Structure formats: C-alpha cells, structure tokens
Amino acid sequence: MKLGRIPLGCAVAPFLAAAAVAVAPAQAATVKVGVVLTYSGGGAELGTQIDRGLELFLKENPDAFGGHTVELIKRDSKRPGGDIAKNAVQELVTREGVDLLTGFVFSPNAIASAPLVTQAKVPMVVMNAGTAWIPKLSPYIARVSFTMWHAGYPMGSYAHDKLGCKTAAAGYTDYPPGKDSLNAFQTGFEAAGGTLVEAIPMGGPREVPDFTPFFQRIKDAAPDCFYVFVPAGVHTAAVAKTYIATGMKDQGVRLIGPGDLTQDTKLRGMGDEMAGLITMHHYSADYDTPVNKAFVAAWKKEYGEDTTPDFMGVGGWDGMAAIAHAIREQDGDITAEGTMKALAGWTYASPRGTIMIDPETRDIVHDQHVHEVVKGDGRLMIKVLDSIPQVRDPCKALMIGKCK
Ligand code: PHB
C-alpha cells in the first residue's frame, strides 16, 4: 500500500509550499504481492521453478521497482483443483489486503480465482496457467506465460507440412489446458490437410496415470504422429518412459507436442533414445542468446551448477519484470485499471526473446520455436530448427469457442 505523499505544514508560506510540492518525492510504497503457487504435492517442482524465477528477478533487479518495496505473501495452492487456490486468493485479498496477485501454475486455479479478481478489483498477473481463454474471465487478468494455442496450433501445420504426418492421434490430460491443447493441434493439423484419427483423454492432472493402455491404443491405430499434452513435471517424465517402453518409437510413430514434453529440467533425465523428438515452444535454457546466457548463469550461481531454469522459471522471472513495470508506471499506487493500462503494449527483453503484452487481449505475444532434442554436451539438449516470430494467441486471433 502506498503511504501517500509527505504532508505539507499549514504554517509554510504559500510560495514555499508551492516549491515543496514541486520537489517533494513520492514516498516509497510497500506493494503487497500475493503469490499463489503449487508448493507441495505432485506439482511442487513446478511451483518451485516459478518461485525461483520470480525471486531471482527481485534479487538481480533491485532498482526495477522505482524505489518501491515489494512484499511477497506466498500461499500454497497444493493441487490443480481450484478450491484451495480460490480460498487462498480470498484470504490474500480480504485479510492481507494485497495490491496484486500472481503465480498460478494450473489453469483451474486461475479459473476459480478469476471472479474474485473482478469483484475485489485486484489485478492478476498469470505466470503459467495456459488455457487460452483465462484472460477473458476478468478485465484485470494479464498473462506473461503462454497459451496452449501458441505451440499447439503451429505444431499442427508443422507436423503435416514439415514432418510429413498425414494422420495423427492425440493424447491429453483431461482438464482445461489439455482440451485446449488438443483443440489447438487439431485445428492447425486439419487446416493443413491432416486427419486426426484418435483423441484420447489420459486421466487428470493430479495423479500421474499409467500411460501404457492409452499409448497401446494409439499404437494399434498406427498414426504417423502422436501429439501429447501433459502438464510438465512428473507427467512429462512418465510420457517419455512409456513411449519407449511400449515400442512406439520402434514402430515409427513420431511423438510430438508442445515444449512441456521437453521441459529443460526433465530433458536431463530422459534416455538418449528420445533424441529426434520434435516439440514447439517459446523457451529452452539452451537458447544461445546473450540475455538467456546471462539468465542461466545467474540461475546456476543462485541455485547450483546442476540446476537449470525451464519455461516455468522464465514465467516467474518475466512475471516479476511485468509487476516491476506496473509498480514503476503507477509510482507504487496500484489499481487494477492502472496495472492493465501499464501492461498494455509492455515489451521486455526476456530470456526467451522479445515479449509483449497484447493491448487488446492482455495476453503474451512471443516467438515460437521448433525444438529438436539432440545429443550434445554430454546430455540431451534443444536445437532450434525453425522460428515463428511474435505469435499472438491464435485462439483469440481466430475467435474460437470461449476465445471469442
Ligand atoms: C496449466 O494447468 O495451465 C498448465 C500446467 C502445466 C503445464 C502447462 C499448462 O505444463
């Protein structure tokens, strides 16, 4: 909360008072930021990535906040169900009086909290949750991460046109971003002339299912490509294992998906047989740019040589950069309208490349890259094969479903 400006004494002569008004500095404000992340349970490593990203930004950029102080008030949303996150938001808004909300790994947690954002007029900066229509749920939501369509839609046309897949099957985790990712891929793939032969829901986001029966079904359908969206983390590692164990690779079914499937933190634990996997995404720790190299070096210095940031860590970093900008622009006096106005058209040199908040949709605009998993440097790493610059969310651009 901003403390207001230094009050002027009544006894001060009018000309002195006028001079004092002109030079009086704004008092440094303490801006309370409510951080809702999944710090425990199956999604703990995802929440921790984002937390590390946002904390690193604060540490490395103390001057980015216009002289104001940020007080982080953290809450654990524990699981993807929405209820715990919503209660946390309620408490942060009513009891803690936060000026701003951020975090949100899982879409249902952002979706359940959206009505409170509108009612309380406390702005939300989404650091991960990727269901395309989330910013449509409140005029006070902006997103710095991605939408499921940024990767899924161009992956559809790339699979058909460049990978030569005439048929494809899709497997997805059965919750909003999974359905959204399927929809994105199917729309892009069919528009390019491909045929989707199967679309299989593969359990919910909370528990990692045994993927074997789903993969077996796909194997029997023998498509050219198998598009998979599962939430990053423990699900990703299990998909890689099951793909090899079921012999799908040997059969010649090509595994593809958004970059959640080749998350930097999980890539290290995958076997060499995953080399050749193609995904579409906006970030890898292996990007060879000065901004990213500096970011990865700072990360390793802070958290250990054997750690790596991934797209979630970058979401935390960029989210805090956006919050810093909003605080600076409003001189510490945060309102929902003021925050959205400050973020509209904001551009930033992120470790992922140039990002921008689309003033019309309040959603992120960023480059997409075709990632190939290659062997190098004693580990699996990402090689960029192709890039699509500055992609606006295709779901909103095409006005599909709830994105209208
Ligand atoms: C989401 O719930 O929106 C979500 C979670 C994990 C991901 C991507 C999207 O990797």
The pTM of this model reads 0.94
Mean pLDDT by 10 residues, the chain (404 residues): 35 34 60 98 96 98 97 97 97 98 98 98 98 98 98 98 98 98 98 98 96 96 98 94 95 97 93 95 98 98 98 98 98 98 98 98 98 93 98 98 96
Q: Which of 49, 104, 107, 149 to mutate to test the pocket of ligand 1 (most atoms within 8 A of CB)?
A: 107
Task: Assess whether the C-beta atom of 131 lies below 6 angstroms from ligand 1.
Answer: yes
Say how many C-beta atoms besides its own lie within 10 A of residue 115's C-beta: 13
What is the distance in A from the centroid of ligand 1 to the CA of 358?
21
Give nearest CA residue, ligand 1 atom 3.
129
Give nearest CA residue, ligand 1 atom 8.
231
pLDDT, residue 26, reads: 61
| Residue 305, Ramachandran bin (φ over 0: left; ψ between -120 and 50: alpha; else beta) | alpha
Task: Assess whether the C-beta atom of 180 lies below 6 angstroms from ligand 1.
Answer: no
Give nearest CA residue, ligand 1 atom 2.
106
Ligand 1 atom closest to Cα of residue 232 = 10
pLDDT, residue 152, reads: 98
Ligand 1 atom closest to Cα of residue 129 = 3
Give nearest CA residue, ligand 1 atom 6.
231
Task: Assess whether the C-beta atom of 285 lies below 6 angstroms from ligand 1.
Answer: no
What is the distance in A from the centroid of ligand 1 to the CA of 229?
9
pLDDT, residue 16, reads: 34
What is the distance in A from the centroid of ligand 1 to the CA of 63?
31
Give nearest CA residue, ligand 1 atom 7.
231
pLDDT, residue 14, reads: 33
Ligand 1 atom closest to Cα of residue 233 = 10
Q: Which of 128, 147, 236, 311 to mutate to test the pocket of ligand 1 (most atoms within 8 A of CB)?
A: 128
What is the distance in A from the centroid of ligand 1 to the CA of 266?
15
What is the distance in A from the centroid of ligand 1 to the CA of 318?
17
Task: Assess whether the C-beta atom of 231 lies below 6 angstroms from ligand 1.
Answer: yes
Closest CA to 391 of 350, 356, 345: 356
pLDDT, residue 270, reads: 92
What is the distance in A from the centroid of ligand 1 to the CA of 177?
6
Task: Assess whether the C-beta atom of 171 lies below 6 angstroms from ligand 1.
Answer: no
Ligand 1 atom closest to Cα of residue 80 = 2
